[in-house]
């Protein structure tokens, strides 16, 4: 049972890493829609929030 937890932890880290890489690697191309880029970035941030990737629950400029 412990082994399965380790496997899931590794998979979770990989998904967080891949999503973070996609988020930081995303650039808006010349002539593309600002709206579409904004939606894509928001969806990536929400995906990271769902994965608890932000320490202390701080995301999207929330200050507590």
43 CB-side CA count, 13 A: 8
Q: In which band, very low, low, confident or very high, does the pLDDT at 64 lie, cut at 50, 70 and 90? A: very low
In the block, tokens 């890493």 appear at 17
Q: What is the pLDDT of residue 62?
A: 55
Tell me if 59 sits within 8 A of 48, measured CB to CB.
yes
pTM (predicted TM-score):
0.64
Per-residue pLDDT tens digits for 4-53: 777 778 888 888 899 999 989 999 999 999 999 999 999 999 988 888 76
Find the helix or strand (DSSP H, E) in which 19 lies.
helix 2-25
Q: How many whole angstroms separate alpha carbon 11 and alpha carbon 27?
A: 26
- Is the per-residue pLDDT at 58 higher than 90? no
């Amino acid at each position: 049972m412990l082994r399965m937890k380790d496997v899931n932890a590794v998979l979770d880290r990989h998904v967080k890493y891949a999503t973070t890489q996609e988020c930081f690697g995303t650039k808006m191309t010349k002539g593309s829609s600002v709206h579409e880029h904004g939606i894509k970035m928001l969806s990536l941030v929400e995906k990271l929030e769902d994965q608890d990737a932000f320490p202390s629950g701080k995301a999207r400029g929330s200050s507590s």
